[in-house]
Chain A
Amino acid sequence: MSVDDRFRDVAWEVILYKLTVRARQLFAAARAKGYGNALARTCVDPDDLARSVIAEALENERVKYKPGKGASLSTFLCLVLERDFKDLLRKGFRLNSRLDSIDTLAERDSDGAHETGLVYDVPDDGKGARIVELRAAALRAANGQRQLEDYITAAFDCGAVTRADQAICLEISPNDVTNLRKKFMRLLSPDPSDDTEMPGGDE
């Protein structure tokens, strides 16, 4: 089967949106966990990562996806995106090691303005760093708001993963679940122009 046949009748717009939302979710989660430095060193934007996954799939003649067998194209591309994202983070860690080896005596300017999305003074090579659990970061971002805390409990402690399950668990409508998810995306991926503190940083 040719590559053109594999991608016939695909709704590309929806796939692009799915991959972009997933990429933004992953970037927000990684920043919340304290991997902001490693991500920033790679200089990759979530939207660019999503686009590059589609471009690779279109370009690669030997792409392993087979329609009608197993997962849908969007599931397949989401898996590819997740793998690419993990590679990207590992690359970010490696870049940090390289910078350390070049100039170990350089002092970091701690008085400079903090850039949103970067986590300062927490080494991400693991020595002395603490792993921030996403659940803890989300609870911190919820900042005592009862509804958001209940959502975290439903998602992480009650095993409600799908929107319908979370709506039943919280006794709210599925639309309200979407609104809560939007709220968490906003809280954990702040506006770059906003200078507020990121969770997991400034230790």
Chain B
Amino acid sequence: MNRDELDKDLNEMLSNSKRLFGDVEEMDKDELVQLLDDSGRPSQAVRQAAYLAFDGLVRNFRLRGQYAPERYKDIVNQLRPPEILSHDPSALAEQAKRWVTSLLEMPTFNEVDLQLAFHRRSELTDSDQRILEETKAEVSRRMKKKNE
């Protein structure tokens, strides 16, 4: 396989992988966490490993007698696990602010999937089915409205 053929094959693989596994750009945080937890090291471990790596970079700056740039401090503060508290008062305040925000956040119901629980489901008539569909749509609408 020459270089051009290899490039073509690799490009095709990139686009096909997006088709098969989904585009990460359209995924929200919950879906990303689900996929990570299901396909190798869980999200918490990924976050912890990244925190250690970037914290190491910040330490290297300090060892060289330099201040770490703001962007490094920002990523370390965002990835810092809750059990590790920062020595920097401003980072501590930022961490506390994030905790409170996440506690106050309402759970979101983007996709409502109602589960029906009753006996003799096989004996449903067409009108029963229609009533159930309408009720399902109504409940979904109300939950969505409440969530807004």
Is A138 part of the contact surface with B, judged by Cβ < 8 Å? Answer: yes
Is B100 part of the contact surface with A, judged by Cβ < 8 Å? Answer: no
Q: Evaluate contact between B72 and A58: CB separation under 8 angstroms.
A: yes
Is A178 part of the contact surface with B, judged by Cβ < 8 Å? Answer: yes
Is A54 part of the contact surface with B, judged by Cβ < 8 Å? Answer: yes
Is B135 part of the contact surface with A, judged by Cβ < 8 Å? Answer: no
The dominant DSSP class at the B interface is helix
In the complex, what's the smallest C-beta–C-beta distance from B140 to chain A, in angstroms? 11
The dominant DSSP class at the A interface is helix
Contact partner, A181, options B10, B35, B72, Cβ 8 Å: B35
Is B84 part of the contact surface with A, judged by Cβ < 8 Å? Answer: no
Is B65 part of the contact surface with A, judged by Cβ < 8 Å? Answer: no
- How many residue pairs at the A-B interface have CB separations less than 8 Å? 158
What sequence of 0s and 1s flags, for each residue 1-44 of chain B, a beta carbon within 8 Å of any chain A beta carbon? 11001110110011011111111111101011111101111010
Q: Which residues 1-36 of A have a CB within 8 angstroms of B?
A: 3-4, 7-8, 10-14, 16-22, 24-26, 28-30, 33
A186 to B40, CA, bound (A): 9
Is B74 part of the contact surface with A, judged by Cβ < 8 Å? Answer: yes
A24's closest neighbor in chain B, by CB?
B39
Residues of chain A lying within 8 A (CB to CB) of residue B32: 14, 17-18, 21
Pick 25 A–B contacts, CB within 8 A, sort by A.
A4-B71, A12-B74, A12-B79, A14-B29, A16-B47, A16-B50, A20-B46, A22-B24, A24-B35, A25-B18, A25-B24, A26-B14, A29-B14, A54-B50, A58-B54, A72-B25, A82-B14, A126-B1, A129-B1, A131-B1, A156-B16, A162-B26, A173-B111, A174-B111, A182-B35
A interface vs B, CB < 8 Å?
A: 3-4, 7-8, 10-14, 16-22, 24-26, 28-30, 33, 46-47, 51, 54-55, 58, 72, 74-75, 78, 82, 85-86, 89-90, 93, 125-126, 129, 131, 133-135, 138, 152, 155-156, 161-163, 173-175, 177-178, 181-182, 184-186, 189
